[in-house]
């Protein structure tokens, strides 16, 4: 189920960054507002700093009972050398942290290789390496290898294609633990609403499906998420985020 959960990971409340995206030209943008979801409600504040070849973000979330989590991240890219780096740290209300860091390299054939290491709050680590290649038909092929804290290796091959309505993706996965399967997703944008449907079918031919409907009204982004289990049971929840204040510094 961990593989399925990874394949079906959805956009978190921080999707509010899509709101007012025309402001990315500013050197610094600070957004604050509120969120509500399956695990409760609260407020957030995000500050984004941009400079030539670098972007850094700090997000602070405070839940309804006053507990805070902080996420900091930074990305760099040197277009002359074709290399970049990224790192992030999430501090939980308990004080425990999770970190992720890695590099991106543009290869001679035009493909990109991304390698990363993730350290969980427990101290255990995971590694990942993926190669992204643009195909002649405009699609992109992505091959990835992930190593879990237990030493299990998961290989994932995926093809992403732009469509007239949005984007589609399909692929397969296999692991050294014997688990394998296929997955696919399709995103369409119409009438101001984005609809994404994702499914994963495992080696036992059992399928887990998730549909996410994302809409925006004013400065509020709302997502309705419906999950259908292999047995046919469905669960639906709604989450939203509202940007209530935006400050820009050139």
> Under a CB-based contact definition with an 8 Å cutoff, are residues 182 and 201 in contact?
yes
Q: State how far the Cα of 96 lies from the Cα of 107, in Å rounded to an integer.
A: 36
Please give the pLDDT value at position 25. 53
Pairing of strands 180-190, 68-78: unpaired
Q: Give how far Cα 166 sits from Cα of 13, 142, 160, 183, Å.
A: 21, 18, 11, 18
| Residue bearing the bigger pLDDT, 39 or 188 | 188
- CA-CA-CA-CA torsion sign (49, 34, 17, 168): positive
Taking the domains of the chain in order of start, what are their residue ranges? 2-249
- Residue 2: in which H helix or E strand, if any? helix 2-7
**pLDDT interval class at 3 (50, 70, 90):** very low
**pLDDT interval class at 190 (50, 70, 90):** confident
Residue bearing tokens 């993730």: 118
Arithmetic mean of pLDDT over the chain: 91
Residues 24, 224, 172, 187: what is their CA dihedral angle, to the nearest 10 degrees? -60
Longest Cα–Cα distance in the chain: 55
User: For the domain bounded by 2-249, which CATH number is listed?
Assistant: 2.40.160
| Residue bearing the bigger pLDDT, 33 or 25 | 33
- 21: which DSSP letter? G
- Residue 78: in which H helix or E strand, if any? strand 68-78
Residues 118, 119, 122, 123: what is their CA dihedral angle, to the nearest 10 degrees? 140
């Amino acid at each position: 189920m961990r593989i399925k959960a990874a394949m079906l990971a959805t956009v978190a409340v921080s999707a509010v960054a899509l709101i007012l995206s025309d402001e990315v030209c500013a050197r610094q943008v600070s957004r604050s507002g509120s969120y509500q979801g399956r695990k409760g409600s609260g407020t957030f504040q995000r500050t984004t700093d941009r400079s030539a070849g670098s972007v850094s973000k700090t997000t602070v979330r405070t839940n309804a009972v006053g507990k805070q989590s902080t996420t900091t991240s930074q990305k760099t890219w040197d277009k002359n050398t074709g290399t970049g780096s990224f790192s992030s740290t999430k501090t939980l209300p308990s004080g425990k942290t999770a970190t992720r860091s890695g590099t991106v390299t543009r290869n001679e054939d035009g493909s990109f290789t991304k390698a990363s290491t993730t350290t969980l709050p427990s101290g255990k680590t995971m590694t990942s390496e993926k190669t992204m290649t643009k195909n002649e038909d405009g699609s992109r092929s992505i091959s990835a290898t992930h190593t879990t804290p237990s030493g299990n290796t998961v290989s994932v091959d995926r093809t992403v294609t732009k469509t007239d309505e949005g984007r589609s993706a399909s692929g397969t996965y296999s692991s050294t633990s014997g688990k394998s399967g296929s997955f696919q997703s399709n995103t369409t944008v119409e009438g101001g609403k984005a609809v994404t449907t994702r499914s994963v079918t495992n080696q036992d031919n059992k399928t887990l499906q998730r549909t996410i409907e994302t809409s925006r009204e004013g400065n509020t982004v709302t997502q309705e998420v419906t999950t259908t289990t292999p047995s046919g049971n469905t669960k639906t929840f709604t989450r939203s985020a509202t940007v209530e204040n935006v400050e820009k510094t050139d």
